[in-house]
Amino acid sequence: MKSIDSDLFRTVAVIGGGPAGLMAAEVLSQAGLKVDLYDAMPSVGRKFLMAGKGGMNITHSEPFDKFLSRYGSRRNYIKPMLDAFGPDALRSWLQSLGINTFIGSSGRVFPADMKAAPLLRAWLHRLRVAGVNFNMRYQWIGWVGDQNGKLRFVTPEGETEVCADAVVLAMGGGSWARLGSTGAWVELLVQRGILIEPLQSSNCGFEIGWSEYFRSRFAGQPLKSVSVTFTDSEGVKIQQQGELVVTADGVEGGLIYTLSALLREQITATGGAVIHLDLAPDRDMRFLFDRISQQRGKDSMANFLRKRVGIDGIKAGLLREVLPKSDFDNPVRLCEAIKSLPIRLVAARPIDEAISSSGGVAFEALDERLMIRSMPGVFCAGEMLDWEAPTGGYLLTACFASGRAAGLGVLAWLNNEQ
């Protein structure tokens, strides 16, 4: 994409002001290029700030091989980016902004003050000093004519056209549309013949279809100290302990988010997915049977379970929601249910409720520099790419790394064009 305004200065348009776009802008501006960043929202980094609202989990400290495995079937595409800019490099980069980090008890990495806003302020200051020009409320609506034409934007003052020598597209996926990730770019690229995998919910809740009684009593309550087991289509059993939240429609929370890709794929393939909840992960079957097989006496079943094995509240409610009444009179079946209660999930929640999305520009449509093969000079980064990862710092790390890779890709391409 050749500028018609000047042959003296090369200009790069970065469309999208999340971590990927900002990182691309940093790489390019530090190389001495003129960088114009465009974003449809009134300010940049809105989803980034929201993600840090409860404590900014920036990356993770686990061994690299395990870290890389979090990217599932796309890890081979993500690996070169993380090799160049992985968790350790990201922490060093944060330090260069004056942001100290620490490793939490879970291995997750956080800024020392746990906040996203100071990080973003320091970063934006650096970018402005480097000459990055920020254009807010610029909604990208494609190109004029063929792919070598000007970029088209809708602004508060009307439609405008922009020239650039290269473009980095970093507009996010399809989750949290109110913060700017609308996925509106999909149709614009499909019209250009770019292979796009459908955007789907990731790190999301799932629908179950609770009874009205259970929903009215327990929606919004956390289900703590449980273990979730799921067996995937290849027979691999995955088990994790933690907590989740019962919603009016089903379940959500960290334990569910970690499994969301596998659960979504199973539902797509078979129409449903079954998880098994261990409501007493710290108690074995022998303990439960010894306690539950005793005579109940005058105690109600609710009091009996509470006194004997500590099952009450939402856990007792779940048992009553799933089990037939006769199973409460059968100690073996009741114990089996406490240790492995089957819960059938029927659908992922809508993408706009999801923390992130899967799908996007297929890696097959890109070269090793993240440039669209059929559109020289146009690069993609961040959640626009077809990958996904669980929460825990993996999403942000790959967004930073892919933004940096796209910026370096632009530099390499421009150098070859000279």
pLDDT digits (tens, 9 = 90+) for 47-104: 999 887 778 999 999 999 999 999 999 999 999 999 999 999 999 999 999 999 999 9
pLDDT digits (tens, 9 = 90+) for 257-292: 989 999 999 999 999 999 999 999 999 999 999 999
Q: What is the pTM of this model?
A: 0.91
H-helix or E-strand containing 67? helix 64-69
- For residues 198 and 248, give the distance between their C-alpha atoms in angstroms, rounded to a whole number: 27
Tell me the angle at which helices 394-417 and 87-96 cross, rounded to the nearest 10 degrees.
80
Domains recognised in the chain with CATH numbers: 11-201+358-417 (3.50.50.60), 206-348 (no CATH)
pLDDT digits (tens, 9 = 90+) for 151-204: 999 999 999 999 999 999 999 999 988 888 999 999 999 999 999 999 999 999
**Which structure tokens are listed for 357?**
């999305």
Question: Which is it for the CA torsion 388, 390, 394, 395, positive or negative?
Answer: positive
Point out which residues pair with 336 in neighbouring strands.
none
Using only C-alpha atoms, the chain has a radius of gyration, in whole angstroms, of 25
What is the mean pLDDT of the segment spanning 366-379?
96
